[in-house]
Amino acid sequence: MKDFPDFMKSKMNHIDSSQQNTKDIDGYYFEGKDGSQMAIWTCYSDRESKEQIHEFDEYTVCVAGQYIEIFNGEEHVLNPGDEVFVPKGTPHHGRVKAGTRTIHAFGGKRIKTVK
């Protein structure tokens, strides 16, 4: 597949650009009853994200392309099928290549509802 299926990209679940840590990406999120969230992102250009810290764990899997998650002084290179776990409270950021698609699971509320 070259893109996420259309049913995963509902306008109601679109992540507002003000909540993106990387420019030139498009994302959608889904929320569990416990407040945990999952997000899918498609990156259109080679980019680097801002450093961030979450009060919850984060799990990422690379679907296509290449994503590099950087934390604790180490680069974790993710190619399709690779995954990484970032413990809560860990400063982290990443680099992405154009065409990369990732899925992220958050143990808390990463995306705030914009009204």
pLDDT digits (tens, 9 = 90+) for 42-61: 999 999 988 999 999 999 99
Report the C-alpha gap between 94 and 69 in whole angstroms: 4
- Say how far apart CA 32 and CA 108 lie, in whole Å: 9
Q: What DSSP state is assigned to residue 60?
A: E
pLDDT surpassing 80 at residue 66: yes
Q: Which of 36, 32, 27 is nearest to 101 (CA)?
A: 27
pTM of the model: 0.90
**Quick check: 64 and 102 in contact, CB under 8 A?**
no
The domains found in the chain, sorted by start residue, are 6-106 (2.60.120.10)
Amino acid in the structure at residue 111:
I
Estimate to the nearest angstrom the gap between the alpha carbon of 109 and the chain centroid: 13
pLDDT tens for each residue of 75-96: 999 999 999 999 999 999 999 9
